[in-house]
Structure 1
Amino acid sequence: MASRGVIFKSCTCDIDGRPGRRRNRTCSRLTERGHGSWQFDCRVRDIRGRSTQVRRSGFPSQAAATRARDGVLDQSLERFTGQRWTVERWLRYWLTTRTSIRPTTLRVYTQHVEQYLIPHLGKLRLADVTVRHLTAMFTELAKQTTRTGEPLAPATLHRICATLRGALNAAIRNDLITDNPARRIELPGRPRPHAVVWTPERVQQWRQHGTRDKVAVWTAEHLATFLDRVAADRLYALWWLIALRGLRRGEAAGLRWCDVDLQHGTAIIVQQITCTGRRTYVGPPKSTASRRVIALDRHTVQALRDHANRQRLERTAAGRHWHDTGYVFTRPDGRPLHPDYLTYRFHRLCQTAELPPVRLHDLRHGAASLAHQAGTDLKTIQDQLGHASIVLTADTYTSVLPDSQRRAAAATAELVLTAARAVRKQIKKRRNEYGDHGARSATLGAPERPANRETAGHGASPRPARPKKRKSGNSTQRATIVHIGRTGHAKPQVNERAARDSNPEPTD
């Protein structure tokens, strides 16, 4: 039938002996048995409803070609799409379906697809991708370098794998494939960055050699110095809020006056400003746990009141050019701040203050560490930072500051010294009561041994007396065995064998 395509016989004979020009279906020898092969040509729709031509050849008989064509036409649209679409086509289609994610996340997905996945896997059929292909791809990616000449970090490889795994999971949900090989890929470990504290030794090492850790936090003295140097900055309240309450830069940029209650000292984090290049987007916080209420101390409230007064003066100076956006931290004309500007501005202020370098996000680490040092429990710190898991708060965002380490070391040493004093006191007491043997028992932790076995207490069962040997001539005879009953009286019993030996019976 026309709707099910056509089946025909063709060959590859050259026309007039000229290579490259085939007779195909016009060869006069096609009627000969064994000359040429059978093939079919049909059209099948994919999951997008678009018609795709399918042509296959090389079948030895018309029946074989018919069975192959029917197998193609009878399979589902999803399975046909998985066998016909390339990885490149599916990845680009998958990106168009990601409409509910943040623009920044979509940008990262697009970068992974265009820069890493398509160049290595784009030509493969979606249903043909195996673990071997993915292993070869990540081996090659591990050899690539960034714009700064450094190899791709293990965390970057894991994010690329996560993007591919998400795309293949979507293919499984659409019945295009049945297995996700990206789940079985073994990648190098990605250690979670742990913030270190800028101790005097680390500061000296940085000033002499320029070496620094990737994630570092200031001490309370460093932070106090920074806040004192930037007291005249128009965004002083923002630096204070991030450093002491641990807001993300997008959360601070997206904070509105309607979300702040200075009278009761609270602020609600309900949105943030993110950016992709020059464009900014206003959206919900990073996660559900990031929607939170933070407490504001009186110093923070006063800093925000001073900032509100400064903003009113800027509004008056701007006049009709003022943009009434309602944000707490704005440009001089009232427009919201770009998150990247905050990062740039903070970096310049750190250089001016001549302090050890930290990232703007490291102020968030420092806020958790300072709160922990002040005696705040981890659950409260987790709520303050907006983490879904307390493990992340404990492992990543809480650095033990030097003062806390010294207090912990002193407390541990005091615990051991107290135990040692108690042991020495016990040894001295037992030496006075029992002499050197009691002192050794106290040292080794052995229980106190009674001086008299008969007064050992109720329930003690002293060992029976060992029989004595006595010599009579050349023979050795055993004495009577003494048994001591529960009443403590000795009950002599005669050893029958010894009695027979000593008084033999008369023989006939």
Structure 2
Amino acid sequence: MTTPRPASSRRSRSRANGDGTIYQRKEGRWEAAGYVLASGNIRKRVRVYGASRKEALGKLTEKIAASNLGLPVAASDCTVSDYLTYWLQGIAVHQVRENTHTRYAACIRLHLIPGLGAKKLARLTARDVRTFLDHLRAACQCCAQVRDTDRRFCCAIGQCCNKRLSPLTVTYVHSVLKSALEHAVREDDLPRNVARNVKTPAPRPRRFKPFTASEARQFLHAASSDRLHALYELALRTGLRKGELLGLHWEDLDLDSGTASIHRSLQRTHTGGLTILHTKTRASERRIVLPTECINSLKTHHERQQEEREAAGTGWPDNGLVFTTPTGRPLDSSNLTRRFRRLLHRAQLRSIRFHDLRHSTATLLLEQGIDLVVIKELLGHAHIGVTADVYAHVRLRLQREAINTLGDALSPGRDDPDGAPVAAIVR
């Protein structure tokens, strides 16, 4: 005589056609399965899991509802190529900025799909990912992207140029794959994120060349006669990003109290051209104090802009931007970069990136002994660890100077001008 299975583990009561099936597994978890629309406009069976019947049913219902709306849903037996396409078009497009999405798309098209696209998503292993990344580091990109068919490049001229990806790019490709697979784990398409089990060497941080105090003074002197003098003052004295400067509106400034609200940025996107967006991160939204020099230069800039506005007449667009072209149009980032380089040449200063003005601000503040927390708030970093990591070389130099100063004080034969030492409590 057979013992009947407990009611909780029996297959659930019949469900309507198309609603899928749901039952409890031997280990206690609930499994639900059903057919949904997958990449390639075909229907595939998906399985989801939950700690309770309600949880598993809710996950399956969500997938079926998305499928009924015509949205492709990833299936566990799909290829990595199919899943990355689904993730890029259905998930990432709603979570990141357009420019970031464009970089994701290029990364997937050029590297991830050629290297891992043919593998089944459910069978992808950490070894597959590690092997792919090792090959990516070693491969000549002219050969990998079939650019050597052009007679001017690489193997077409009889010698491979060995043009390899930088460690930073390899790390970026790895991070995109991890992000995509993490979503597969959240949707129960994968039990774990195998890309997270692969460790890649930390790339060397980008080297930047901030101004010294002497060079900064020379730069500000040269910029004093420039039409965008106020912009350069703000960049060097407050460390604002280029997009934050170009997206600044007059309504964001309070010149009477000497403050500025930073909450938007001007960026060029593929579809919208020059577009006002939110700042880089939520931490980038901040209120900063304006130096007196910036307040004065902004007032002068406002007067000049009013003259340009009157000269342009009805052709002046009412966009409220602080920094514009002489006709009131938004300033393009690339045009500002060219102007900046010409200014450096006129000032007979070494060539640096515009973003290095921001690094110059932080470096000079650190060298003046300003607390790292204050610099973090001024720059709009999400975490103080970011500030500490970026400017670690400055902190080490300051530590060395402090240690040397202490060494001088402790050197033999040095007299204490104050006589006997003062007792102190060590905590």
Give me the TM-score of the superposition, normalised by structure 2: 0.72
Question: What is the deviation of 1:118?
Answer: 0.7
Question: What is the deviation of 1:347?
Answer: 2.2
Tell me how far apart the structure 2 counterparts of residues 392 and 366 of structure 1 sit (CA, whole Å): 16
Q: Output one character per residue of 1:120-167: Cα deviation in whole Å (capped at 9) or x when no partner.
A: 111112112112221221112102456897532222111111111111
Percent identity over paired residues: 34
**Would you say 1:359 and 2:353 are equivalent positions?**
yes
**Would you say 1:118 and 2:108 are equivalent positions?**
no
Task: Give the direction of change, closer, same or farther, for the CA distance of 1:225–1:405 in structure 2 (3 Å limit).
Answer: farther
CA contact (8 A) 1:107 1:276 kept: no
Q: What pairs with 1:227-376 in structure 2 (closer than 5 Å)?
A: 227-276=220-269, 279-376=273-370
Counterpart residue identity of residue 314, structure 2? R
CA contact (8 A) 2:274 2:330 kept: no
Tell me how far apart the structure 2 counterparts of residues 120 and 403 of structure 1 sit (CA, whole Å): 43
Counterpart residue identity of residue 232, structure 1? S
Runs of 5+ unmatched residues, structure 2: 1-16, 19-33, 46-62, 68-72, 143-160, 421-427
**Would you say 1:386 and 2:399 are equivalent positions?**
no
Task: Give the direction of change, closer, same or farther, for the CA distance of 1:309–1:168 in structure 2 (3 Å limit).
Answer: same
Match of 2:193? 180
Question: What is the deviation of 1:411?
Answer: 2.6
Secondary structure of 1:343's counterpart equals helix
Match of 2:104? 109
Runs of 5+ unmatched residues, structure 1: 5-43, 55-75, 194-213, 427-508
Tell me how far apart the structure 2 counterparts of residues 320 and 357 of structure 1 sit (CA, whole Å): 39
Counterpart residue identity of residue 194, structure 2? P
Match of 2:179? 166
Q: What pairs with 1:424-503 in structure 2 (closer than 5 Å)?
A: none
User: Which structure has the higher relative contact order (CA within 8 Å, separation 6+)?
Assistant: 2
CA contact (8 A) 1:45 1:51 kept: no
Tell me how far apart the structure 1 counterparts of residues 227 and 96 of structure 2 sit (CA, whole Å): 34
Secondary structure of 2:394's counterpart equals coil
Tell me how far apart the structure 2 counterparts of residues 81 and 263 of structure 1 sit (CA, whole Å): 56
Counterpart residue identity of residue 35, structure 2? R
Question: What is the deviation of 1:47?
Answer: 4.5
Tell me how far apart the structure 1 counterparts of residues 241 and 323 of structure 2 sit (CA, whole Å): 14
Secondary structure of 1:46's counterpart equals strand
Q: What pairs with 1:169-208 in structure 2 (closer than 5 Å)?
A: 169-193=182-206
Counterpart residue identity of residue 413, structure 1? G
Tell me how far apart the structure 2 counterparts of residues 230 and 146 of structure 1 sit (CA, whole Å): 42
Task: Give the direction of change, closer, same or farther, for the CA distance of 1:220–1:405 in structure 2 (3 Å limit).
Answer: farther
Secondary structure of 1:280's counterpart equals strand
Match of 2:95? 100
CA contact (8 A) 1:369 1:399 kept: no
Task: Give the direction of change, closer, same or farther, for the CA distance of 1:405–1:181 in structure 2 (3 Å limit).
Answer: closer
Question: What is the deviation of 1:84?
Answer: 3.2
Counterpart residue identity of residue 252, structure 2? D
Aligned residues: 341
CA contact (8 A) 1:219 1:401 kept: no
Tell me how far apart the structure 2 counterparts of residues 83 and 379 of structure 1 sit (CA, whole Å): 46
Tell me how far apart the structure 1 counterparts of residues 373 and 268 of structure 2 sit (CA, whole Å): 31
Structure with the largest fraction of strand? 1
Tell me how far apart the structure 1 counterparts of residues 162 and 257 of structure 2 sit (CA, whole Å): 52
Question: What is the deviation of 1:405?
Answer: 8.0
Counterpart residue identity of residue 358, structure 2? R
Tell me how far apart the structure 2 counterparts of residues 179 and 241 of structure 1 sit (CA, whole Å): 47
CA contact (8 A) 2:76 2:121 kept: yes
Find the partner of 2:36 among 41, 46, 49: 46
Which has the higher Rg, Structure 1 or Structure 2?
1
Tell me how far apart the structure 2 counterparts of residues 53 and 216 of structure 1 sit (CA, whole Å): 54
Match of 1:82? 75
CA contact (8 A) 2:126 2:198 kept: yes
**Would you say 1:156 and 2:169 are equivalent positions?**
yes
Secondary structure of 1:187's counterpart equals coil
**Would you say 1:130 and 2:125 are equivalent positions?**
yes
Tell me how far apart the structure 1 counterparts of residues 334 and 86 of structure 2 sit (CA, whole Å): 31
Q: Output one character per residue of 1:153-204: Cα deviation in whole Å (capped at 9) or x when no partner.
A: 22211111111111111112222221221011132221334xxxxxxxxxxx
Question: What is the deviation of 1:297?
Answer: 1.6
Secondary structure of 2:75's counterpart equals helix
Give me the TM-score of the superposition, normalised by structure 1: 0.61
Tell me how far apart the structure 2 counterparts of residues 53 and 299 of structure 1 sit (CA, whole Å): 65
Question: What is the deviation of 1:332?
Answer: 1.4
Tell me how far apart the structure 1 counterparts of residues 400 and 198 of structure 2 sit (CA, whole Å): 44
Q: Output one character per residue of 1:240-269: Cα deviation in whole Å (capped at 9) or x when no partner.
A: 101110000010011100000000000000
CA contact (8 A) 1:369 1:398 kept: no
Match of 2:371? 377
Tell me how far apart the structure 2 counterparts of residues 272 and 321 of structure 1 sit (CA, whole Å): 24
Task: Give the direction of change, closer, same or farther, for the CA distance of 1:369–1:51 in structure 2 (3 Å limit).
Answer: closer
CA contact (8 A) 2:38 2:44 kept: no
Secondary structure of 2:344's counterpart equals helix
Q: Output one character per residue of 1:425-471: Cα deviation in whole Å (capped at 9) or x when no partner.
A: 99xxxxxxxxxxxxxxxxxxxxxxxxxxxxxxxxxxxxxxxxxxxxx
Q: Output one character per residue of 1:410-434: Cα deviation in whole Å (capped at 9) or x when no partner.
A: 6323321378547xx99xxxxxxxx
Tell me how far apart the structure 1 counterparts of residues 253 and 410 of structure 2 sit (CA, whole Å): 49
- Identify which range, 92-101 or 345-354, moves more after superposition: 345-354
Match of 2:70? none
Tell me how far apart the structure 2 counterparts of residues 289 and 386 of structure 1 sit (CA, whole Å): 6
